[in-house]
Amino acid sequence: MDTNNKIELVVFDWAGTTVDYGSSAPSEVFDRVFSAAGLHLTKEEINRPMGLEKKAHIRELLSCESGRNQWQGQYGRPWYEEDVDALYRKFEDTLHQVVAERSDPMEGVVETVEALRKAGLKIGSTTGYNDWMMQEVLPRAAAGGYTPDCVVTPDATGIGRPSPFMLFECMHRMNVYPPCHVVKVGDTTVDMREGKNAGAFSIGILTGSNLLGLTPEEYAAMPAEELAARKADASQRYIEAGADLVIDSIRDLPAAIEELNRRLAHGEVAAL
């Protein structure tokens, strides 16, 4: 066995993965901003593009059938890029007000990151938030015990997910290569595609994820059979987006990384 051919860097997403159960802060703010503009989108419609850089997310919402039709009905014209800019400014201002409240580390994050560091792994992160938003997130997460070694936003690269450039920047800052020694961990299909586009492994998390789309209260109250069906559907969506593994909880991550190390030892690489 090649003991050097192992995972060295774990790159986490933020909202829905390490903080903000269900990625509720951006979902809530998108709903507020679009409702104020006269557009009423479902939770599923709002969450579908989650993981993208936020201006790209707004374009996706305006481009979906419901968003496009409602905009045309409300304003009597198609949307333009200046409309995206205006909505983004409102989104940014509103999110900046609420994001800190949702930035405590999720259950199991601090203990899992500590275990990974003890195993010699470096901890990176990428996000759809910009630097200004992260100024609110980072102190609250740190106060709760979670501080990654590296934080990369779309401001650093000029382009967000699903491009691989934020993940490459993490690799650069942490001096880790090749990409098969890196795993991206997230809660959206865009996270999985980011990992795939970089040539890294990707792992999707179910509990607390945007993809599962449940609040803690909804998760606890849901009948077991229905919850299992929701998880099976979310797992399939992760796999279709390129996930190498899907785990139920972040607490399962150390064992998942050991599985990837076994695959690497046998010459396997990340799925394309």
- Active-site residue numbers? 13, 54
Separation CA 94–CA 91 (nearest Å): 5
Q: Could you tell me which of 6, 15, 27 has the C-alpha nearest to residue 146?
A: 15
Chain-centroid distance of CA 211 in Å reads: 9
Backbone angles phi, psi at 177, to 5 degrees: -160, 160
Token pair for 8: 């060295």
What burial class does residue 254 get, using C-beta atoms within 10 Å of its C-beta: 0-12 exposed, 13-18 middle, 19+ buried?
middle
Q: Are 30 and 59 in contact (CB under 8 A)?
A: no
Alpha-carbon torsion 137, 139, 141, 142, what sign?
Answer: positive
